[in-house]
Amino acid sequence: MNDLAGKHIVLGLTGGIACYKAAELCRGLVKEGATVQVVMTEASEQFITPVTMQALSGRPVYTSQWDAREPNNMPHINLSRQSDAILIAPCSADFLAKLVHGRADELLSLMCLARPADKVPLLIAPAMNREMWAHPATQRNMKQLSDDGATILGVGSGFQACGETGDGRMLEPHELLEDLVAFLHPKSLAGRKVVVTAGPTFEAMDPIRGITNHSSGKMGFAIARAAREAGADVVLVAGPVHLPTPRGVRRIDVKSAREMLAATEKETVRADVFVATAAVADWRPATHSDQKIKKDGSGAAPTLAFVENPDILATVARTERAKSGALFCVGFAAESHDLVKHATAKRERKGIPLLVGNIGPLTFGQDDNQMLLVDAQGVQELPRASKIECARRLVAEIAQRLPR
C-alpha cells in the first residue's frame, strides 16, 4: 500500500529505550510512500545511531541546530516548513516537559517551537516508565500540550524494559502508522457515528457445535477503519473472527445473529450511518441443547430443524430514524451470478438507500474486492482494489449522500 504517498514526515527521536521501535516505524513510513527526515536529540543517540536511521530513511539525519549543511544554517526553519507533520516517537517525559515550556535549546525542540502550527501538526508518541507516565507532572504536561494543539497518540500497556508492567510503553510501529495515516486523512465523517456489522455469525446447537460460514470479516473491518480515518465515532459489531480491532474503533464481539441484532439495535439508536457487511446465518437450529448431543449407539443421526434468523439490516432499515433519513443504511449483497439484477432487487427488498454488490466467491477471504454501487439513481461499477481502498471509496460515497 501507499497510504502516505507524497507525504513528508519529520520523525523526531528523543531519549528512551523505545528508540529501537523507531527504526521499524521509519521503515514503515518509507514503505507507505512517505519521505522521512529524521531529527535526533543527543539523548536518543545513546539508544540508536544516526547511521541506522539514515540507512532506513535514505537521508542524512539532523542532530544539531548548528548543522552547516543548510545554506542558511537554519535547519530548524527549513526542515519543518517542508513537512506535512512532525511525529515525535519516542517522546520522553523530559521532552514533553520541554515542549510544554517552549524550550528551544537543541534542534528538535527548537524546530517544534518554530514550526507554523496551523500548517504542520505535531504528533506525540510518549514512551516512559509507568510511574513517570502516571505522575501528575506528566499528565499535566500532556493536557497542556494537547491544549496547545499537539495530538497525543496515547501509550501502550504491558511489560516495560525496566522490568515493571503497566502503562507508558510506546505504541507499536504499526499502531503509530495507522494513527498517522488516519490523522492525515480528510475528515468527511467528522461528528458522525457509524455502526458496522462484520464477520459471520455462529449459531450453536449444543455447547460444542454450531453452524457458521467462511466470512473473514475483512471488508467490515476495513470499513470500520476507513470510517474512523474519516473522523467518525465507530462501533464495530463483530461475529467470531480473528482480526485485530482497527485503531480507535469500539468493538463489540457477538456470536449469534440474535446477539448481533441486539447490539446493533442498541448502537444505531444514535448513529448516523449503519453499514451491514456481516454474513448473518439465515437460519439457526430450532432447538439448543445445554449439553453435548451424544451418539446413542444406534447409528441414527439426529435430525436438525431450523428457524429463520432476524434480518438485522431490514429490521434497522424499518426504524423511524432510518425511514426519516437520519440513519443512512448501507447493505452488502454477495451473489454468485446475475449481480446487477439481484443487487437491485435486494436494495428494494431491504428498503435501503445504498447497496454494495459483489461476486461472493471473488471476494471471500481475499484482500481485494470489486464493488458495484446500487442506489435510486442506478448502478455504478467501481474498479477492483484492495479492501481498504474500496472501504475508503465507499466511505467517501456515503459521506456525500448524508444530510448536511
Residue closer to ligand CTP, measured from CB, 273 or 312: 312
91's grid cell: 517522546
Residue closer to ligand CTP, measured from CB, 195 or 257: 257
Residue facing ligand CTP at closest CB distance: 312
Residue closer to ligand CTP, measured from CB, 35 or 197: 197
**91 included as an active-site residue:** no
256's grid cell: 449469534
**Minimum distance, C-beta of residue 376 to ligand CTP, in the bound complex (Å):** 17
In the set 19, 91, 162, 390, the catalytic residue is 162
**Minimum distance, C-beta of residue 312 to ligand CTP, in the bound complex (Å):** 3
Residues in the chain: 404
**Minimum distance, C-beta of residue 334 to ligand CTP, in the bound complex (Å):** 5
Of 278, 198, 267, 280, the C-alpha closest to 232 is 267
Classify 211 in phi/psi space as left (phi over 0), alpha (psi -120 to 50) or beta. Answer: beta
Query: 395 with 230: CB under 8 angstroms?
Result: yes
Residue closer to ligand CTP, measured from CB, 11 or 313: 313
Classify 61 in phi/psi space as left (phi over 0), alpha (psi -120 to 50) or beta. Answer: beta
**Minimum distance, C-beta of residue 285 to ligand CTP, in the bound complex (Å):** 15
Of 26, 71, 70, 69, the C-alpha closest to 44 is 26
Q: Position of cell 448473518?
A: 280
Q: How far apart, in whole angstroms, are the C-alpha atoms of residue 20 and residue 52?
A: 10
Q: How far apart, in whole angstroms, are the C-alpha atoms of residue 312 and residue 250?
A: 19
Residue closer to ligand CTP, measured from CB, 124 or 329: 329
Query: 12 with 88: CB under 8 angstroms?
Result: yes
**Minimum distance, C-beta of residue 9 to ligand CTP, in the bound complex (Å):** 38
**Minimum distance, C-beta of residue 260 to ligand CTP, in the bound complex (Å):** 8
- For residue 221, the SS3 value is helix
**Minimum distance, C-beta of residue 330 to ligand CTP, in the bound complex (Å):** 8
Residue closer to ligand CTP, measured from CB, 27 or 258: 258
Residue closer to ligand CTP, measured from CB, 62 or 202: 202
Residue closer to ligand CTP, measured from CB, 14 or 358: 358
Binding site for ligand CTP (CB under 6 A): 197, 257, 276-278, 280, 282, 309, 311-313, 331-334
In the chain, what is the straight-line distance between the N-terminal and C-terminal CA atoms, in Å?
A: 32
**Minimum distance, C-beta of residue 2 to ligand CTP, in the bound complex (Å):** 30
Query: 274 with 330: CB under 8 angstroms?
Result: yes
Count of Cβ atoms closer than 10 Å to residue 385 Cβ = 15
With a CB cutoff of 8 Å and minimum separation 6, the contacts of 235 are 193, 194, 195, 196, 249, 250, 251, 252, 267, 271
Q: Which residues pair with 363 in a beta bridge?
A: none
- For residue 277, the SS3 value is coil
Q: How far apart, in whole angstroms, are the C-alpha atoms of residue 122 and residue 166?
A: 26
Q: Which helix (H) or strand (E) holds 158?
A: strand 156-159
Instruction: Name the residues annotated as catalytic.
Output: 162
